[in-house]
Amino acid sequence: MDSKTADSRPVVLTIAGLDPSGGAGIVADIKTIAAFGCFPTAALTSITFQNTSGVFGALHQSGGTLRAQVEPILEDFSIAAVKTGMLPTKEIVGEVARLCRETKLPAPVVDPVMCSTTGQDLIDDDAFKAIQVELLPLACVITPNVPEAERLVGFSIAKESDMRRAAEAIRALGARAVLIKGGHLRDRRQMEEGGRQEPGKVGEALDVLLDEAGKFTVFREHFVDVGEVHGSGCTLSAAIAACLAIQMNLEEAIQAAKSFVTEAIRAAPRMGRGARPL
C-alpha cells in the first residue's frame, strides 16, 4: 500500500515561513491542519529569527529551493488543499504561482502576510506587487486583515461598508473570493474610544466575505480580548484550507475556521514575554 492509499486523511500543503517560537507560520499551520483531521505537509519560504516579542531577521529561501521542497511532495501525495503564508520575495511569489499553474495543486487559500504582530515588514515591495499580479488570480480565496486590505486597495477602511468596497476592489484584481478580517478595525475603534476593553471581556469580531458568485456574507463571532495574540491569521487560513480539504464549501469552511480561532484565542497560553502564541 503506497502513501496515496495508506491513509484516508486529506493532505493539506502549507507554503509559509518558519516562526521558531511556534505561534505563527508553518508550526501554527501544521498544528491547525492536524486538529481538523487532515495530514499536514509543508514547504518553507523563509527562516525567521523571532520570538513572541518581535522579529529580528530572516533568511529567505530561493525559488529553486522552494520548488525542490514541493515537487517530491507532489510525487508522493494527492494534495486536497493548499494555503500560502509569508512569501517574502518576488522570486518566491513567482515560484508559487508557477507551481500552481504547472502542477495539480488546487487553487490556494492566500493569506497575504505583510507585517508581523509586532509591526515588522515581512515582504518587500516587489513581492507585494507580485502577489497582486501573479498570485491573486490563482487564489480560491484571499484573507487579508484590514491593514493588508488597505495596502492592496489603496484606501482607508473604517467601517463595514469600506470592507465591502475593499473586497470588491480586491476581487477585481482576480481573486475568486475575498475574506476581509475585521479584528484590526475593532482595535482602531477601541483606541478612538479611549483604549482597549478589559482583558477576557467578550466583544464581536466582524469579517466580510465576497464569494465567487458576487455574494456578500458577514460573519459575526465572539471576540475574546486576551491582549496581543500571535498567529491568529495563520491559524485561520490554515483552518479554512483544512475545512475545504474535508469537503466543506467556502462559507462553511470560514465559519468553522472562525469558531476554531475564537476558541484558540480563548485558551491561548501566557507563554513568552510578548504576544500570546496560539
Q: Is 214 exposed, middle or buried (0-12, 13-18, 19+ CB in 10 A)?
A: exposed
Percent of the chain residues topping a pLDDT of 70: 81
Q: Looking at the chain, which runs of residues are DSSP E strands? A: 11-18, 39-51, 54-60, 79-84, 109-110, 141-142, 178-181, 202-210, 216-224, 229-230, 276-277
264-276 residue pLDDT tens: 877 666 666 656 6
Look at residues 167, 173, 116 and name the one whose alpha carbon lies nearest to residue 139: 173
Instruction: Of 37-41, 46-50, 269-273, give the lowest mean pLDDT range.
Output: 269-273
The residue written with cell numbers 504582530 in the block is 117
Max intra-chain CA distance, the chain: 62
pTM of the model: 0.89
Instruction: Of 175-179, 201-205, 235-239, give the lowest mean pLDDT range.
Output: 201-205
Burial 114-131 (b: 16+ CB within 10 A, else e): bebbeeeebbeeebbebb
Mean pLDDT of the chain: 87
Instruction: Of 48-52, 153-157, 265-269, give the lowest mean pLDDT range.
Output: 265-269
Share in percent of the chain as helix, strand, coil (round to 5): 40, 25, 35
242-251 residue pLDDT tens: 999 999 999 9
180-208 residue pLDDT tens: 998 757 544 443 444 444 444 445 778 99
Domains of the chain from N-terminus onward: 11-271 (3.40.1190.20)
